Amino acid sequence: MSIFEYNGSAVMAMVGKNCFAIASDRRLGVQLQTIATDFQRVFKIHDKLYVGLSGLATDAQTLYQKLVFRHKLYQLREERDMKPETFASLVSALLYEKRFGPYFCQPVIAGLGDDNEPFICTMDCLGAKELAKDFVVSGTASESLYGACESMYKPNMEPDELFETVSQALMSSVDRDCLSGWGGYVLIITPTEVREHVVKGRMD
> Per-residue DSSP letters for 131-172?
EESSEEEEETTHHHHHHHHHHH--SS--HHHHHHHHHHHHHH
**0.75 surpassed by pTM:** yes
Which sign does the torsion angle of CA 19, 132, 88, 115 carry? negative
Query: Can you tell me the mean pLDDT for 106-128?
Result: 95
User: Phi/psi at 96 (nearest 5 deg)?
Assistant: -65, -30
Task: Give dist(CA 170, CA 34) in Å, integer.
Answer: 19
Condensed to tens digits (0 to 9), the pLDDT of residues 137-183 reads 999 999 999 999 999 999 999 999 999 999 999 999 999 999 998 99
> CB of 63 within 8 A of CB of 93?
no
When pLDDT is cut at 50, 70 and 90, the band that residue 204 belongs to is confident
